[in-house]
Amino acid sequence: MASAAATVVPSSSSSSTKIHHGSEITSIKAFAESNGSCPIPSTYHSLTEPRDDVADHLAASIPVIDFSLLTSNDPQIHATTVQQLANACSQWGFFMLTNHGISEKLMEEVMEKSHEFHNLPLEEKEEFADKGPLTPIRHGTSFHPEAEKVHYWRDYLKVMTLPQFNFPHKPPGYKELGFEYSRKIRGVARKLLKGISESLGLEPESIIKSTGFDSGLQIFAVNLYPPCPEPDLAVGLPPHSDHGLLTLLTQNGIGGLQVKHTGKWVNVNPLPNCLIVNTGDQLEAVSNGRYKSVMHRAVLNNRDTRISLVLVNGPDLDKEIGPELGLLENEDPLFKTMKYRDYFEIQQKTRFAYKSGLDEIRKCL
Ligand SMILES: O=C(O)CCC(=O)C(=O)O
Ligand SMILES: [Fe+2]
C-alpha cells in the first residue's frame, strides 16, 4: 500500500457533458465512464515498450532516504545520509523518502479532494480548460491533444502554486489543503536541495541561491488515470523526464509508475507514507551532468482508477540556469546556461521525445 489511499467518491459526470471537442476526447475519464470504451480508439495506442517487460529484481534496490536522518543535528548521521543521497542521485535519480514529516492525514485529505475535483461534472471544470503551459490553472486530458499523434490515457489538473499561489476554488476546502501541502512539500524539497548541494561538495545553500529557488516555480499536478480496458495498448504517460530540479510524488495506493534504471523499466512499489522523489532536467544541468534526470512513465491497469499528486519544484523562471560555478574549477561545463522560462517552453514542446529539452542546452564538446 502506498501513502495516501483515495476514498472512492461517486462520480458526477453527467450524461449531458460534452466528451468530444471536434474529433478530440476532452476527458478520458468521462469517455471511459460513458461506454465500454473497448476496443479503445486507435489514437490511444500509445504504449511503445511493453509494460510487463520489467526488471522486478531491481525494485527492491530503489534507494530509500530517511529525511529525519538528513536533517539530524548529529554531524556523522547527517554526513552518512548526504552520502546516501549522492548515491541515490547519481545511480538512480530516484528514491523513496521516509519520515518526511508531512502527516498521513494531510496526504489523504489532499488525495481525497483531488479525486473530488476530477469527479466534478465536465461543465464545472470548463473554466479551468488548459490555455497553455504558463497559465496558472489548467485542466485537460492527455498532454496536448490537438498537437499529438497519439494520446495518453490520463486527465490532469496542473496548478502553478509558486511563486504565487493559485488553486481552483472548488470543491470546498481543496484550496486550503492545496496550500498547506504545496508549502510543506516545498520545505522538504528545499532541505533535500541543501543536502544535494553538500553531496556535490558545495555549500549547502549553493543551489538554492544560484537557482533563485526561494522565488522559484512550483507546479502542482494531479493526474487521474481511469481503468483502461486495453492496458497493453495505451499508456498513461509515456517515457519522459521532468523539467524542474526535484519532483515529489505520491499516489493513491494504485501502482503504475515505472522508472528506467540501467536500460530497464522497474515497477515502483512505494513504502507506506513515503514521498517518491525524482531528479529533473534542471538538476542535471546544475550538477553538470552528475545527477542525470531520470526517465519514467505511468502504465495502466483495467481495474482501478489511479491518481498521482506530482509537485515539480523548479528554479526562478527568470534565472539563467547552468552548471554550478563551484563545479567548474576542475571540469568543463557540459551545458550552456538558459533562462528556466525558456527551457520550460522548449521542454513543453519536446517533452515526450526522450529528453530532447536537455539536448538544446547540451554543449557539443
Ligand atoms: O503518475 C505518475 O506516477 C507519474 C506522473 C509524472 O511523471 C508526471 O506527472 O510528470
Ligand atoms: Fe514525470
The complex's ipTM? 0.99
Of 154, 223, 260, 299, the residue with max ligand 1 atoms within 8 A of its CB, to mutate for a pocket test, comes to 223
Indicate whether residue 157 lines ligand 1 (CB < 6 A).
Answer: no
Grid-cell match 475519464, residue found = 29
Residue 19 domain-assigned (yes or no): no
C-alpha–C-alpha distance, residues 56 and 109, integer Å: 31
228 in any annotated domain: yes
Rounded mean pLDDT, 32-50: 89
The per-residue pLDDT for range 272-312, each reduced to its tens digit, is 999 999 999 999 999 999 999 999 999 999 999 999 999 99
Closest CA to ligand 1's atom 9: 310
Name the one residue in this structure whose C-alpha cell is 523539467: 243
Q: Do 150 and 46 contact (CB within 8 A), yes or no?
A: yes
Asked if residue 29 has its Cβ within 6 Å of ligand 1, the reply is: no
Residues 90-135 pLDDT 10s: 999 999 999 999 999 999 999 999 999 999 999 999 999 999 888 9
Residue 188 has pLDDT above 90, yes or no: yes
User: Which is higher by pLDDT, 364 or 142?
Assistant: 142
Looking up residue 165, the CATH number of its domain turns out to be 2.60.120.330
pLDDT at 356: 67
Check pocket membership of 219 for ligand 1, CB cut-off 6 A: no
Segment 243-269 mean pLDDT: 97
Atom of ligand 1 nearest to the CA of 223: 1
| 252 located within any domain | yes
**Residue 68, pLDDT above cutoff 90:** yes
For residues 313 and 344, what is the distance between their CA atoms, to the nearest angstrom? 12
- Give yes or no for residue 5 having a pLDDT over 60: no
Residue 179 has a pLDDT of: 98
Atom of ligand 1 nearest to the CA of 296: 7
Of 280, 104, 251, 270, nearest to 192 (Cα)? 280
Would 6 be classed as within a structural domain? no
Asked whether residue 270 is assigned to any structural domain, the reply reads yes
Q: Which ligand is nearest to the CA of 223?
A: 1
**Cβ(296) to ligand 1 under 6 A?**
yes
If one counts the domains in the chain, the total is 1
Q: Is the pTM of this model over 0.90?
A: yes
Ligand 1 centroid to residue 309 C-alpha, Å = 8
Mutate to test the pocket of ligand 1, among 248, 257, 306 (most ligand atoms within 8 A of CB): 257
- On whether residue 231 sits in a domain, the answer given is yes
Q: Does residue 261 lie in a domain region?
A: yes
- HEC-encoded secondary structure of 154-218: CEEEEEEEECCCCCCCCCCCHHHHHHHHHHHHHHHHHHHHHHHHHHCCCCCCHHHHHCCHHHCCE
Residue-level pLDDT at 6: 37
Ligand closest to 250 (CA) is 1
- Domain containing 115 equals 40-361
Determine, yes or no, domain membership for 332. Answer: yes
- Reported confidence tier of residue 9, pLDDT bands at 50, 70, 90: very low
Place of cell 475535483: 117
Q: Say yes or no: CB of residue 223 within 6 Å of ligand 1.
A: yes
